[in-house]
Amino acid sequence: MESASKIARNGREDELADVYSLETYEPRRGLGHLIGRARSHLLAAIDTELARDELLRPLEVTSAQLIVIVNLAGRECATSASELCKGISYDAGAMTRMLDRLEAKGLVRRTRSPDDRRLVNLELTEAGQAAYPRLREVSMRVLNHSLRNFTREEARTLESLLQRLAHNVGG
């Protein structure tokens, strides 16, 4: 990895250098730790809200299951367990168990591909499709609460910076 490079922004060239050095790097204050901590807190808050929600409580959906449902419902949705695993960096064995639970709850259906019987496609059931808008709403409420001290512009900047970071690390 190069320690310095140049990038053109707003009509000028800025020099990019390593952010951390051995003299100043504190792992528990670094970006990786902070992102992990924020993710843990967000997922815990989503779990709390899902348990409080009168319509979703009977389904006993967790934040991890919400992530799977969202990835099956979106415009550019996953259609197989392997796509899901890649998209959300999840272990294949754990994904199988997760899908088993979602299928038992009647939210997800596995179907054999008509073109290749070795392939198993995933889709939301009618119950999964019906739950999706409410799951999306709960997720949005938690995110909005988490961003309550941010301006809209700051939140969009944070999104943009995290997208750049994800791109830099290969996502």
Per-residue pLDDT at 113? 82
In a domain, 5, yes or no: no
- Please name the residue that has the structure tokens 């709403």: 137
Hey, what amino acid is at 45?
A
What's 49's domain CATH number?
1.10.10.10
Around Cβ 107, how many Cβ atoms within 10 Å? 25
Q: Is residue 14 part of a domain?
A: no
pLDDT reported for residue 18: 87
Domain assignment present for residue 6? The answer is no
User: For residues 132 and 129, what is the distance between their CA atoms, to the nearest angstrom?
Assistant: 5
Residue 25 lies in a domain: no
106: left (phi over 0), alpha (psi -120 to 50) or beta: left
Beta carbons within 10 angstroms of residue 122's beta carbon: 21
pLDDT-derived band at 3 (thresholds 50, 70, 90) equals very low
Residue 12 lies in a domain: no
Whose structure tokens read 């959300």? 88
Domain that holds residue 111: 31-168
What predicted TM-score, i.e. pTM, was given to this entire model? 0.83
Q: Which pLDDT tens digit goes with each residue over 12-56?
A: 556 777 889 899 899 999 999 999 999 999 999 999 999 999 999
Number of domains in the chain: 1
